């Protein structure tokens, strides 16, 4: 069952593993000497690079899992089944490193377990904490058939199969709840720059996360197909990116309406905030929508890479702007991450990639990779399946 096309310690495998070790080192240093020893965070700048990625990026980039699960298990579009297992694993790893990052980002990390018994039902973050805990459990249960198949646990696989639709429905509910709550959290921070402090932020967060999750899945699908000699499903990925683009169109329409209605555009100026807004929306949203609308671009490997990369860049910048930079007008002084903050952030990302590499090598992660293909095409094991 081992996939020998997936090397553990290729050049990039070594890089991923070394950054993972670096993140572990930074985490240990933080637990021993505190945040002040490894970050530039302060009472004035309590949120920085770590929380922007832990809360904003990792969790949002995992949204492709519930979107693909809904498409296949709820709407019964079986054509997309070959993408479900990788999407679920990406979501599982995204939430896992998000939870680990949040734990380290807390001033007193061991207290992260307090929401289990110290209930604060009036707090948005309490709801987020419980939803993330429950959804992470759901994701591990959704991913468990890969482990059951690896170890031959037939009865456990049968039980999971019987429960998969309720699990998916519950997971979708939890995703909508906490993704939207993360955005709604900023309704209580009116000192933000007006381009990012929006009344409909809760809706905007969950909608944009769906587009980001599908783009992350597409980006890594193209990279993995090239690196590990997998079948690149060019009959499916252009459709995935088309869905991501339509979601992004809806997101932009709602965001522009909300910004105009709330008076946010009155704060636009050709300064650093205006430049960030133009890069985020123009390069990271409008441009990839135009690219995806072009059939020739959408149905090419390089086109998929460019479009998905731009959406990832735009929405990652959106989370950094929303969680950190847009609060600058109400802060004194400045904040820039230390090298340790960068190492920890990259270490979590590369660590998740190395974990994905392990799963791809030792688990039947791509067992349904050729599902739905004509037998002659599947037998030929093409690197690229044309649309």
Q: Does pLDDT of 271 surpass 50?
A: yes
CA distance 148 to 158: 10
- pLDDT bin (cut points 50, 70, 90) of residue 297 is very high
Give the CATH H-level superfamily of domain 21-365: Formate dehydrogenase/DMSO reductase domain (1.20.1630.10)
Question: Is-contact 109 103, C-beta < 8 A?
Answer: yes
Spatial contact of 384 and 232, defined as CB atoms under 8 Å apart: yes
Contacts of 264 (CB under 8 A, 6+ apart): 194, 195, 196, 197, 198, 258
Alpha-carbon distance 93 to 356, whole Å?
8
pLDDT per residue as tens digits for the range 332-383: 888 999 999 999 999 999 999 999 999 999 998 888 887 777 765 656 555 4
Least confident of 3-7, 147-151, 156-160, 215-219: 3-7
Instruction: Give the span between the Cα atoms of 32 and 279, in whole angstroms.
Output: 39
Tracing tokens 């599947």 back to the chain, one arrives at: 378
Whole-Å CA distances, 101 to 89, 186, 233, 326, 360 = 18, 20, 33, 22, 24
Q: Has residue 4 got a pLDDT over 80?
A: no
> Is residue 325 scored above 60 in pLDDT?
yes
Q: Token pair for residue 226?
A: 């090239």
Task: Name the pLDDT band for 107 (thresholds 50, 70, 90).
Answer: confident
pTM of the predicted model, to two decimals?
Answer: 0.93
Classified as helix, coil or strand, 11 is helix
pLDDT at position 18 over 50: yes
Model pLDDT, residue 385: 44
Helix boundaries (H) for 265-331: 272-278, 287-293, 295-298, 301-323
Which one, of 232, 374, 247, lies nearest residue 303 by Cα? Answer: 232
Residue 17's contacts (CB-CB under 8 Å, 6 or more residues apart) are 9, 350, 354
Each domain of the chain, given as residue ranges in start order, spans: 21-365
């Amino acid at each position: 069952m081992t996939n020998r096309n997936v090397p553990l310690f290729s050049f990039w495998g070594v890089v991923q593993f070394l950054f993972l070790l670096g993140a572990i080192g930074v985490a240990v240093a933080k637990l021993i000497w505190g945040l002040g020893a490894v970050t530039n965070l302060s009472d004035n700048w309590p949120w920085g690079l770590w929380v922007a990625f832990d809360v904003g990026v990792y969790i949002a980039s995992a949204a492709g899992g519930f979107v693909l699960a809904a498409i296949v298990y709820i709407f019964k579009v079986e054509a997309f089944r070959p993408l479900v297992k990788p999407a679920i694993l990406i979501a599982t790893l995204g939430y896992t490193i998000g939870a680990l990052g949040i734990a380290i980002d807390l001033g007193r990390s061991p207290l992260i377990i307090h929401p289990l018994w110290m209930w604060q039902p009036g707090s948005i973050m309490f709801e987020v904490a419980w939803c993330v805990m429950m959804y992470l459990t759901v994701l591990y249960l959704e991913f468990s058939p890969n482990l059951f198949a690896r170890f031959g646990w037939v009865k456990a696989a049968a039980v999971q199969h019987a429960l998969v639709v309720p699990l998916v429905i519950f997971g979708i509910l939890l995703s909508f709840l906490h993704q939207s709550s993360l955005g709604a959290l900023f309704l209580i921070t009116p000192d933000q720059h007006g381009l990012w402090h929006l009344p409909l932020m809760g809706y905007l967060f969950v909608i944009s996360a769906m587009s980001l999750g599908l783009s992350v899945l597409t980006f890594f699908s193209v990279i993995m197909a090239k690196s590990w000699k997998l079948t690149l499903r060019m009959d499916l990925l252009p459709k995935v990116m088309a869905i991501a683009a339509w979601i992004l169109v809806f997101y932009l329409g709602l965001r522009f309406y909300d910004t105009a209605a709330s008076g946010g555009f009155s704060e636009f100026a050709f300064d650093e905030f205006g430049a960030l807004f133009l890069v985020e929306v123009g390069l990271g949203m409008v441009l990839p929508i135009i690219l995806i609308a072009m059939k020739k671009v959408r149905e090419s490997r390089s086109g998929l890479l460019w479009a998905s990369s731009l959406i990832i860049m735009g929405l990652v910048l959106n989370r950094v702007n929303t969680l950190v930079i847009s609060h600058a007008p109400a802060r004194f002084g400045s904040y820039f991450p230390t090298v340790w903050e960068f190492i920890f952030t990259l270490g979590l990302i590369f660590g998740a990639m190395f974990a994905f590499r392990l799963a791809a090598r030792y688990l039947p992660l791509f067992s349904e990779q050729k599902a739905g293909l004509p037998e002659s095409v599947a037998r030929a094991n093409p690197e690229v399946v044309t649309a």
